[in-house]
Amino acid sequence: MCKALKFRLPVSGIIQINEDIVNKLTTFKQIESDSTEAGGIILGRKLIGTNNLIIDEITIPFPDDIRKRYSFKRKQENHQKVVETRWKESEKTENYLGEWHTHAEDNPTPSNIDKNDWKRRIMKDNLYLDFLISIIVGRKNIEIWVTDKQKNVIKLKKENV
Protein backbone atom coordinates (compact mmCIF):
# COMPACT_ATOMS: atom_id res chain seq x y z
CA MET A 1 0.00 0.00 0.00
CA CYS A 2 1.18 3.51 -0.85
CA LYS A 3 0.15 6.53 1.13
CA ALA A 4 -1.19 9.83 -0.20
CA LEU A 5 1.30 12.06 -2.00
CA LYS A 6 1.48 15.83 -1.68
CA PHE A 7 3.19 18.29 -4.02
CA ARG A 8 3.76 22.04 -3.51
CA LEU A 9 2.20 24.34 -6.14
CA PRO A 10 4.47 27.11 -7.56
CA VAL A 11 2.57 30.06 -6.07
CA SER A 12 0.79 28.67 -3.03
CA GLY A 13 -1.13 25.56 -2.16
CA ILE A 14 -0.77 21.81 -2.31
CA ILE A 15 -1.87 19.08 -4.71
CA GLN A 16 -2.78 15.89 -2.88
CA ILE A 17 -3.12 12.56 -4.65
CA ASN A 18 -5.32 10.42 -2.44
CA GLU A 19 -3.99 6.99 -1.38
CA ASP A 20 -6.45 5.00 -3.50
CA ILE A 21 -5.41 6.97 -6.60
CA VAL A 22 -1.69 6.46 -5.83
CA ASN A 23 -2.40 2.73 -5.59
CA LYS A 24 -4.32 2.77 -8.87
CA LEU A 25 -1.53 4.68 -10.65
CA THR A 26 1.15 2.28 -9.39
CA THR A 27 -0.67 -0.73 -10.88
CA PHE A 28 0.28 0.63 -14.32
CA LYS A 29 4.04 0.93 -13.70
CA GLN A 30 6.04 -0.33 -16.69
CA ILE A 31 8.06 -2.90 -14.78
CA GLU A 32 8.38 -5.64 -17.39
CA SER A 33 10.42 -5.21 -20.58
CA ASP A 34 7.27 -5.53 -22.67
CA SER A 35 5.00 -3.33 -20.50
CA THR A 36 3.16 -0.69 -22.49
CA GLU A 37 2.41 2.89 -21.50
CA ALA A 38 -0.88 3.61 -19.82
CA GLY A 39 -2.65 6.87 -19.21
CA GLY A 40 -5.84 8.77 -18.71
CA ILE A 41 -7.27 11.93 -17.28
CA ILE A 42 -7.07 13.42 -13.78
CA LEU A 43 -10.20 14.48 -11.93
CA GLY A 44 -10.29 16.44 -8.74
CA ARG A 45 -11.48 19.47 -6.83
CA LYS A 46 -10.27 22.67 -5.25
CA LEU A 47 -10.86 22.98 -1.52
CA ILE A 48 -13.07 25.99 -0.79
CA GLY A 49 -11.19 28.97 0.59
CA THR A 50 -7.75 27.54 -0.26
CA ASN A 51 -5.45 26.95 -3.22
CA ASN A 52 -5.26 23.25 -2.30
CA LEU A 53 -6.32 20.60 -4.79
CA ILE A 54 -7.35 17.01 -4.20
CA ILE A 55 -7.01 14.41 -6.94
CA ASP A 56 -9.98 12.12 -6.33
CA GLU A 57 -10.11 10.04 -9.46
CA ILE A 58 -8.32 9.10 -12.66
CA THR A 59 -9.53 7.33 -15.73
CA ILE A 60 -7.63 4.23 -16.73
CA PRO A 61 -6.96 2.99 -20.25
CA PHE A 62 -10.00 1.95 -22.26
CA PRO A 63 -9.77 -0.87 -24.82
CA ASP A 64 -9.77 1.57 -27.75
CA ASP A 65 -6.84 3.64 -26.38
CA ILE A 66 -3.55 2.96 -28.17
CA ARG A 67 -0.86 1.61 -25.85
CA LYS A 68 2.72 1.04 -27.00
CA ARG A 69 6.01 0.65 -25.16
CA TYR A 70 6.90 4.34 -25.50
CA SER A 71 3.60 6.03 -26.26
CA PHE A 72 0.00 6.26 -25.18
CA LYS A 73 -2.80 7.79 -27.23
CA ARG A 74 -6.04 8.41 -25.41
CA LYS A 75 -9.27 8.24 -27.36
CA GLN A 76 -11.40 11.17 -26.23
CA GLU A 77 -14.94 9.80 -26.07
CA ASN A 78 -14.86 7.28 -23.18
CA HIS A 79 -12.69 9.47 -20.97
CA GLN A 80 -14.90 12.51 -21.64
CA LYS A 81 -17.99 10.57 -20.57
CA VAL A 82 -16.33 9.92 -17.20
CA VAL A 83 -15.58 13.65 -16.79
CA GLU A 84 -19.19 14.59 -17.55
CA THR A 85 -20.58 11.92 -15.23
CA ARG A 86 -18.32 12.91 -12.31
CA TRP A 87 -19.15 16.61 -12.83
CA LYS A 88 -22.86 15.84 -12.50
CA GLU A 89 -22.55 13.28 -9.68
CA SER A 90 -20.30 15.57 -7.62
CA GLU A 91 -22.73 18.46 -7.98
CA LYS A 92 -20.19 20.40 -10.07
CA THR A 93 -17.27 20.11 -7.64
CA GLU A 94 -15.10 17.45 -9.33
CA ASN A 95 -13.61 18.44 -12.66
CA TYR A 96 -10.92 17.79 -15.27
CA LEU A 97 -7.48 18.83 -13.97
CA GLY A 98 -5.13 17.28 -16.51
CA GLU A 99 -3.59 14.06 -17.80
CA TRP A 100 -1.44 11.20 -16.52
CA HIS A 101 0.65 8.53 -18.19
CA THR A 102 3.50 6.13 -17.47
CA HIS A 103 7.14 6.02 -18.52
CA ALA A 104 9.48 3.04 -18.62
CA GLU A 105 12.06 4.76 -16.41
CA ASP A 106 12.66 4.83 -12.66
CA ASN A 107 12.47 8.61 -12.25
CA PRO A 108 10.22 9.95 -14.98
CA THR A 109 10.99 13.07 -16.98
CA PRO A 110 8.77 14.53 -19.68
CA SER A 111 9.80 14.09 -23.28
CA ASN A 112 9.63 16.95 -25.78
CA ILE A 113 6.47 15.29 -27.11
CA ASP A 114 4.98 15.44 -23.59
CA LYS A 115 5.91 19.11 -23.10
CA ASN A 116 4.57 20.12 -26.52
CA ASP A 117 1.33 18.26 -25.82
CA TRP A 118 0.95 20.01 -22.45
CA LYS A 119 1.57 23.43 -24.05
CA ARG A 120 -1.04 22.66 -26.71
CA ARG A 121 -3.56 21.47 -24.11
CA ILE A 122 -3.18 24.54 -21.88
CA MET A 123 -4.31 26.65 -24.82
CA LYS A 124 -6.93 24.26 -26.23
CA ASP A 125 -8.60 22.37 -23.35
CA ASN A 126 -11.49 23.76 -21.36
CA LEU A 127 -9.77 23.98 -17.98
CA TYR A 128 -11.16 24.42 -14.51
CA LEU A 129 -7.84 25.90 -13.31
CA ASP A 130 -5.31 28.41 -14.70
CA PHE A 131 -2.89 25.55 -15.25
CA LEU A 132 -2.80 21.96 -16.45
CA ILE A 133 -1.65 19.15 -14.16
CA SER A 134 0.45 16.37 -15.68
CA ILE A 135 1.45 13.25 -13.79
CA ILE A 136 4.07 10.80 -15.03
CA VAL A 137 4.31 7.46 -13.26
CA GLY A 138 7.80 5.98 -13.34
CA ARG A 139 8.96 2.60 -12.10
CA LYS A 140 10.08 4.07 -8.75
CA ASN A 141 8.56 7.55 -8.51
CA ILE A 142 5.46 9.51 -9.40
CA GLU A 143 6.16 13.10 -10.47
CA ILE A 144 3.91 16.06 -11.25
CA TRP A 145 4.33 19.06 -13.54
CA VAL A 146 2.06 22.02 -14.12
CA THR A 147 1.88 23.99 -17.34
CA ASP A 148 0.65 27.57 -16.99
CA LYS A 149 -1.07 29.87 -19.52
CA GLN A 150 2.34 31.29 -20.48
CA LYS A 151 3.34 27.72 -21.44
CA ASN A 152 5.86 27.36 -18.62
CA VAL A 153 6.33 23.73 -17.60
CA ILE A 154 7.14 23.53 -13.88
CA LYS A 155 8.08 20.41 -11.94
CA LEU A 156 6.47 20.33 -8.49
CA LYS A 157 8.35 19.41 -5.33
CA LYS A 158 7.09 16.61 -3.10
CA GLU A 159 6.03 17.53 0.39
CA ASN A 160 6.98 15.32 3.30
CA VAL A 161 3.82 13.73 4.61
CA–CA separation, 127 and 49 (whole Å): 19
**pLDDT greater than 60 at residue 1:** no
- Across the chain, mean pLDDT equals 93
pTM over 0.85: yes
Q: How many distinct structural domains can be found in the chain?
A: 1
CA–CA separation, 161 and 27 (whole Å): 22
Among the listed residues 19, 32, 37, 94, the single catalytic one is: 37
How big is the chain by its Cα radius of gyration, in Å?
A: 15
3-state secondary structure at position 151: coil
Type of residue numbered 1: M
Identify the pLDDT of residue 92: 87
**The pairing of beta strand 14-17 with beta strand 53-58:** parallel
Identify the pLDDT of residue 38: 98
Residue 57 bears catalytic tag: no
Q: Which band of pLDDT confidence, cut at 50, 70 and 90, is reported for residue 133? A: very high
**Domain extent at residue 154:** 5-158
How remote is the C-alpha of 55 from its chain's centroid? 9
Segment 67-124, tens digit of pLDDT:
999 999 999 889 999 999 999 999 988 999 999 999 999 999 999 999 999 999 999 8
- Stretch 9-25: mean pLDDT, rounded? 94
3-state secondary structure at position 104: coil
Give me the CATH number covering residue 35. Answer: 3.40.140.10
| Sequence-separated (6 or more) residues with CB below 8 Å from residue 33 | none
Q: Which band of pLDDT confidence, cut at 50, 70 and 90, is reported for residue 127? A: confident
- For 54, the enclosing helix (H) or strand (E) is strand 53-58
